[in-house]
Amino acid sequence: QEGIKGLKGVIITHWHLDHSSGLSQVLDLFETKEEIPVYKYGNEDKDKKLFASDTKRFTLKYVKHGDIIIVDDETTLECIYTPGHTSDHIALYCKQEKAIFSGDCILGYGTAVFDDLYTYMKSLETLLKYDCEIMYSGHGPVITKPLDKIREYIEHRNKRENQIIEQLIKYKQTGLTSNQLVQFIYVDTPSHLYYAAEKNVLNHLSKLITENKVQKLSDHKFILVPTSSL
């Protein structure tokens, strides 16, 4: 539709199928005759399964944080390692346009899901360091106030974490299970959504354990670490 012809390369933000499985169709659409580079952060176990049938049509080039991909004489893309949503997630920064392609780290609507909240929060802090005026997400509309959106994401997660800590302070003698925390915190949430809510709570608890603020007991309860200043 835009009249673009030819394909110089493809950049994949992470391994999830809605971001990687269409590679063959893209190569077909552009009638690619020559082997092209496909840029991605390394995840060899996943990548072998994802790209096994097409490796003769492209060269997989692994990138790391800070690598620069040259688009043309006037445009570059800096790779930003942003794990959390997945362990191999990257975003891309176009300095010339002060734009970030955020993949699934930041969405155009709602909040993102993640595998590891600890690294995800670090990734949000990393994105805040860039001089960004517009953000293109993997899902949803263009984000016209990206720094505000990133701060909104951080504040949302911090609010939920504080709610968990408040409950653990109340029950510091006995501790609480993740299911009990869900019932205390998600009071306005329908019970059929408790499973998803508990997954979020467990992600927060995992982060707090990594930070040595919470510990898990043998009876599946969680308590604040006694030496914690919380």
Average pLDDT in the 206-220 region? 95
The CATH class of 10-144 is: alpha beta
Sign of torsion, CA 174 229 162 192? negative
Domain boundaries, the chain: 10-144, 160-224
**Tens-digit pLDDT profile for residues 48-102:** 888 776 667 888 999 999 999 999 999 999 999 999 999 999 999 999 999 999 9
Please state which architecture CATH assigns to domain 160-224.
Orthogonal Bundle (1.10)
Residues contacting 80, CB < 8 A, separation 6+ = 65, 90, 91, 92, 93, 100, 126, 127, 130
